[in-house]
A and B are shown apart, each in its own frame.
Chain A
Amino acid sequence: QQQVKQSPQSLIVQKGGISIINCAYENTAFDYFPWYQQFPGKGPALLIAIRPDVSEKKEGRFTISFNKSAKQFSLHIMDSQPGDSATYFCAGQTQGGSEKLVFGKGTKLTVNP
């Protein structure tokens, strides 16, 4: 019940295109869903996050869409750039309890120039 399933495992997009990464969770106690971006040799950096009381959150070129009934959420990167090439991780968290993040296995995004 702790799993977060992420797809695809890898994604190749042309510059200017839309990158879409999907996640599904099982634990209905999750109440915070962050996305992290990780470059090689670096730690994960918080990109954008959403709580289940909203269906969409947008920050610049990054948008999270959230479907509570389906227990799914996705990251959309508009106008993808080569600098967006990185590994992206979704996660779920139950705040106020253990506070541990449960991560998906990651999506390696490559944006071709």
Chain B
Amino acid sequence: NAGVMQNPRHLVRRRGQEARLRCSPMKGHSHVYWYRQLPEEGLKFMVYLQKENIIDESGMPKERFSAEFPKEGPSILRIQQVVRGDSAAYFCASSPGGTQPQHFGDGTRLSIL
């Protein structure tokens, strides 16, 4: 059973460009969570989605960031007009929901030039 798959593993963008990060949850998991990790920091929650629904986006910056989890295909975290401060590792986790634990992918390292 494949784990949580994230791609790309590394992404380099110039300031002002768009970044698209993809996450395919584990088979059978319908809950997806995105977290951001800054250097020497813990992981910070960004958004929680179920198929076609955003459940909690309290950790998402109000501008430039959006997330979706369509009926078919991976979840997408989209960052528009990237700035240097967006440089971080972005992790996706999935779970079947309820009391089941979250399992993480290996992340996308985003670098902004």
> Which of A42, A49, A96 is in CB contact (< 8 Å) with B98?
A96
CB-defined interface of B90-113 with A at 8 Å, one 1/0 digit per residue?
010101011101111111000000
> Which of B43, B56, B98, B101 is in CB contact (< 8 Å) with A98?
B56
A57 lies within 8 A of chain B by Cβ = no
Cross-chain contact A100 with B4 (CB below 8 angstroms) = no
Cross-chain contact B101 with A34 (CB below 8 angstroms) = yes
Closest 7 CB pairs of A and B: A43-B104, A103-B42, A100-B45, A98-B56, A105-B42, A43-B106, A103-B43
Interface size range of chain B in the complex: 20 to 34
B55 lies within 8 A of chain A by Cβ = yes
Question: Given contacts A43-B106, A44-B43, A95-B99, could you give 20 more A-B pairs where the C-beta distance is less than 8 Å?
Answer: A34-B101, A36-B104, A41-B106, A43-B6, A46-B101, A49-B101, A89-B43, A96-B98, A96-B99, A98-B58, A99-B31, A99-B55, A100-B48, A100-B58, A101-B35, A101-B93, A101-B102, A103-B35, A103-B42, A103-B43
B69 lies within 8 A of chain A by Cβ = no
B63 lies within 8 A of chain A by Cβ = no
CB distance from B92 to the nearest CB of A (A): 8
Give me 5 A-to-B residue pairs in the complex whose CB atoms sit less than 8 angstroms apart, sorted by A's number: A99-B95, A100-B48, A101-B35, A105-B40, A106-B42
Cross-chain contact B33 with A101 (CB below 8 angstroms) = yes
Cross-chain contact B48 with A98 (CB below 8 angstroms) = yes
B71 CB contacts on chain A under 8 angstroms: none
Task: Considering the complex, give the chain A residue whose CB is closest to the CB of B44.
Answer: A103
